[in-house]
Amino acid sequence: MRLFRRHIPFLILLGMVFHSGLLTAQDRKPPALLNKLVSLGTISETQRQIIFNHLQTQISNRFELISQRRFDEAQNAAFEELDYDECTEENCVRFIQDALQVENFFSLQLVQEGAITQMTLTMIDLDRKVVKSDVCQDCSVVELNDRVTELVQAMTEEVDFDRLLEDAAAEETITEKPASQVKDQVAFAHTLP
């Protein structure tokens, strides 16, 4: 009994470390890219910024957003690398995804004509392009934010988070090993056609 009492602080500490490791693994998010907001019509800069900030918050609830600086650098590299006619939206996005090793790319477009506002959220991953859209009449910015939340929720239902986290964990394992050990483990690489 005396031996057990001496080890209680150690066991508690070990339990806390193990538990915090589990929480960290559960809180992990797959990486994602978020394009700047695209808008057409009479949407003010302030309204665009409020909606974009809300979009960032909603996406970052489920994804770890890559910094805008890294995104801009990869986008500039895509413009330099690809010919003008090759740089379609999907080809440029694929180039950026490949350069940053990120599967998911999100973009929100707002189009306003009179009292009608259309919101289109697009997600491009390595295999597909998913588009969700909503239309709102006479909507305030708060109502538009609510609609953006609904679009993001509908979009995230399309995402296999377990697979993304497994892929991210495998990528981390590979990047932590010396190159001599990695070359035999990499089965394929994603390249642009």
The superfamily (CATH) of domain 30-158 is ABC-type transport auxiliary lipoprotein component (3.40.50.10610)
Q: What is the pLDDT of residues 8-54, one digit of tens each?
A: 555 454 454 444 444 444 568 999 999 999 999 999 999 999 999 99
Residue given tokens 């009492």 in the structure block: 5
Do the Cβ atoms of 95 and 26 come closer than 8 Å?
Answer: no
Q: What is the pLDDT of residues 91-100, one digit of tens each?
A: 888 889 999 9
pLDDT class of 171 with cuts at 50, 70, 90 = low
Show the tokens assigned to 188: 């394929």
Predicted TM-score of the model (pTM): 0.71
Domain ranges across the chain:
30-158
Q: What is the pLDDT of residues 59-86, one digit of tens each?
A: 999 999 999 999 999 988 888 888 877 7
Do the Cβ atoms of 136 and 147 come closer than 8 Å?
Answer: yes
Compute the Cα dihedral for 175, 65, 158, 112 and give only its sign. Answer: negative
Residue 50: the pLDDT is: 97
